[in-house]
Structure 1
């Protein structure tokens, strides 16, 4: 991590020079593609960096985080709503000392993803660079580490081109470099494992949840019967996801004592599933985990106030 930071500092001036030239070229292209939302200023464009307070920077960071979250869950509908219709993706991958490049239209990418066997991931930005021109066009760089089940897999430096449409930032292009993390640095991180687990509960893909358990893992909720094995745990997650199509599970905190880890969570959602009441629910609880040697959940005992949960299903949140 120290080497990464040193590299960022050494190349910061060069990066802004390069980004400035890219900004001009991209602005011309985006005007051709999005004529209704481009205005050429006669004044030299004003660029903002992280040293200046600009509310658009926070909006762009939020947009990037939402995109990475939805990408990790393969939520194509949410991703599509964030993209320009003509958005392109480009990737440069380092393998065996050689870089290989590819590009694909966003629509073609979505179609390919639908045919793929997918596994969840959690991509976390470590650093941002943002340049905004006239409050209308933006370039952003996000230095990220991609994790699967709490283990870092690749370092991915993402480059985004944004254009503002009706007050919202839309993504015109995404390009990124991808480098494998060295074996000695692939160390398990329990907090990121828990973050990925919470993200999986938001995915509407119940097999993503069960992938965080060992194959013979056990999930028990309150005094209910235990669900043992991948299929049974998938069915438990499916039940909640069908009850709450917009379900969001947040990680509130994480504690470890002896061989037990406590995952504190809050579920919010609307009961719009089959025979749903249409009421909103917000309930908090705990899962107490026993982890196996690989860092997966061997046993989880979940607890929440079932009476309050049933009351909210019937009457909604007070």
Structure 2
């Protein structure tokens, strides 16, 4: 199935809602069994469990996190969604707000087979540390 823009927007909104609702299993369930996720050119995550662990880490560090959907683009089985992350870091108490995007390749069931994501990691680190 090739998603239309409304379907792609719903996929992205449901994904953002899973983050905001602190549901790492729902975040991970968006990905296919054989998936690859790479953020900022880092080490790839190659399983739903690794993606769930990453989501759990952010949810633990930011108990009040909100992930807002900014925009969605779609073409064939490829979509891009832009987001804004907001929350207060549990250890430093600093409020953090940063934006990024992910490019998703989708299978016939609209699960993510490959995700490439980007955000300004240096800005994120500055905000967390308060410098």
Do the two structures share a fold, i.e. TM-score over 0.5? yes
The structure-2 alpha-carbon separation of the partners of 1:193 and 1:258, relative to structure 1 and needing over 3 Å to count, comes to closer
| Greater length-normalized contact order (CA 8 Å, ≥ 6 residues apart) | 2
1:303 aligns with 2:106: no
Q: Do the aligned partners of 2:77 and 2:107 also contact (CA within 8 Å) in 1?
A: no
Structure 1 distance, partners of 2:21, 2:27, is 9
Structure 1 distance, partners of 2:41, 2:34, is 20
Matched with 1:127 is: none
Matched with 1:277 is: 92
Residues 112-161 of structure 1: CA distance to partner in whole angstroms, max 9, x if unpaired?
A: xxxxxxxxxxxxxxxxxxxxxxxxxxxxxxxxxxxxxx9xxxxxxxxxxx
Gaps of 5+ in 2: none
Q: Do the aligned partners of 2:105 and 2:115 also contact (CA within 8 Å) in 1?
A: yes
Matched with 2:71 is: 253
Q: What number of residue pairs does the alignment pair up?
A: 127
How do 1:160-309 and structure 2 match up within 5 A? 189-257=7-75, 259-272=77-90, 276-309=91-124
Q: Do the aligned partners of 1:218 and 1:233 also contact (CA within 8 Å) in 2?
A: no
Structure 1 distance, partners of 2:43, 2:96, is 23
Gaps of 5+ in 1: 1-149, 151-187
Runs of 4+ in structure 1 displaced over 6 angstroms?
none
Residues 169-228 of structure 1: CA distance to partner in whole angstroms, max 9, x if unpaired?
A: xxxxxxxxxxxxxxxxxxx92211111011011121211100111112221110211111
Displacement of 1:259 in angstroms is: 4.1
Q: Do the aligned partners of 2:8 and 2:72 also contact (CA within 8 Å) in 1?
A: no
SS state at 2:103 partner: strand
| CA RMSD after TM alignment | 1.7
Q: Which has the larger radius of gyration?
A: 1
